Amino acid sequence: MPLPYQDTTGPGDAGPLRDARLRGGRPLVVDVDDVLMQTSLSSEAIWSEIAHRPAAAIALAAAVLRGPAELKRRLANSAHFDPARLAYDTETVAYMLRVLGEGRPVYLASDTYDSALVGAIAQHLGVFTAWTASADGARLDPEALSLLQSWSQGFDYLGHDSEVLPAGATRIPRRSPAAPSVATSDPVGWRVWAKLLRVHQWAKNALVLVPLLTAHQFGLWPAITALFAALAFSLGASAAYILNDLVDVSADRAHATKRERPIASGAIAPAQAIAAMALLLIGAITIAAVVSPAFLGVLAGYLALTTAYSFRLKRLALLDVVTLAVLYTIRVVAGAVAIGVAMSEWLFAFSLFIFMALALVKRYVELDRRSSGDRPLSRDYQPNDRAMIAVLAAAAGFNAVVIFTLYISSDAVRALYGHPQIMWASCPVLMYWVARVMLFAQRGLIDDDPVIFALKDRVSWLALGTIGAIMLAAM
């Protein structure tokens, strides 16, 4: 049975290791970063703090400038650090359990982090015979290593190659058959990067092309401009997704499916993700500036709003779905700005309502899963809100249909279409599609994102193609 965990009160005090009685076998000493964990503990603690208190980013940046000791002090005092939400290396944990099964003791030793953080990890895992941590940011307490060295069997060390070990200690190569591999040391494949960037979500940015079609701008140059605008939004949206994953990393690890996201699973380190986010932002801003200064302004507004959504707005009931509807509508507005056409008020109103409906369906699906035990975190909803959310979603969806019918009767349609009366045939198709989405959500047949569902659904594509054919016939 593991001994009680004891704190290291200061340099030279190796109490936890001194009090541990070796009960047989050669001890194993394990470090934290990139060994016990797939990522850096400091980056995990930083993003956990920022997620709960965005204003803390300024104080943390100042702590970084003051040096590692100041940063460590701030992280150790964090009230939001949760060791249960870290990306532990499962191979390392399995290896430690095998060592314990052989009757050998296992110790957690860190020369980088404060005892508050290391002790919390040891307490959570509950597999360590004892642990020790740095108290002042220096290398691991020499007395602790000396005590380990004094044991007749010596000890094995699984950790950083730069650590200077005393005589009698054996460094276990992290790629040896006897020791676990470290996932973060492997080159990250393109599929993992594509998953991080949510490349499959880029299809949503086809909304930028909608004004090109509704305004009947079929020339080559407007088409090229619109495609570059869609690319800029795709890059910017990917950067926003990365920021969202960094902020939500703790909550994602408690989610049934989101735990497989690259950052949450530890496949991509936060530092790598931040570098990718910076490159994506540079690319998006550069392309947007080439398209037009006005389009750059719209993209900047989109990025500002999606950042506010990631940090705060998504935690506020109803305001979160309104924000999602606005974010989708901004894509349509951006398309009009990019090709230099006036944004149709009809298209603007239709976009707001149809995307409000889809955002509400998204929340309905999440609430439905919460009631079945997969409880999403950080959402200001209750399970009994489902009925109201369903009513609001249906109302928004059919209001979009009403707006479309009013558009057919408007003077704007007569100026663009030679036979506008033919467009009435598209209304039953749109009504059927909206009702079908609501019905499928009720039956639990829609994943987290109804937009992605529509992109994968053959019936949705058939409905879209039918409406497109009707509108072409009306021309």
> What are 109-122's pLDDT values in tens digits?
887 777 778 888 88
Q: Could you report the per-residue pLDDT of 134-158, keeping only the tens digit for each?
A: 654 444 455 555 555 555 557 888 8
Identify the CATH number of the domain defined by range 187-343.
1.10.357.140
Q: What is the pTM of this model?
A: 0.78
pLDDT tens track for 377-433 = 446 888 888 999 999 999 999 999 999 999 998 888 888 888 989 999 999 999 999
Query: How confident is the model over 196-208, as pLDDT tens digits?
Result: 999 988 999 999 9
* Strand 28-30 relative to strand 106-110, pairing: parallel
Segment (H or E) for 190: helix 190-197
The token duo for 119 is: 């002790």
For a pLDDT cut of 70, what percent of the chain falls above it? 81
Give the range among 19-28, 154-163, 399-408 with minimum mean pLDDT: 19-28
Q: Find the mean pLDDT for residues 231-243.
A: 95
Res 15: pLDDT: 42
Q: Report, as an integer, the average pLDDT of 51-63.
A: 73
What is the reported pLDDT for 6? 38
Nearest to 127, CA basis, from 170, 83, 85, 183: 83
Cα–Cα distance for residue pair 252/195, rounded to 1 Å: 14
Average model confidence (pLDDT) for the chain?
Answer: 82
pLDDT for the residue numbered 353? 97
Say what the pLDDT of residue 143 is: 52
**What architecture (CATH level 2) is domain 15-185?**
3-Layer(aba) Sandwich (3.40)
The CA-based dihedral angle spanning residues 374, 375, 377, 382, taken in that order and rounded to the nearest 10 degrees: 150
State residue 154 phi and psi, 5-degree precision: 70, -160
Find the radius of gyration of the CA atoms of the chain: 28
Ranges 56-65, 70-79, 196-205, 412-421: which has the least confidence: 70-79
pLDDT of residue 336: 95
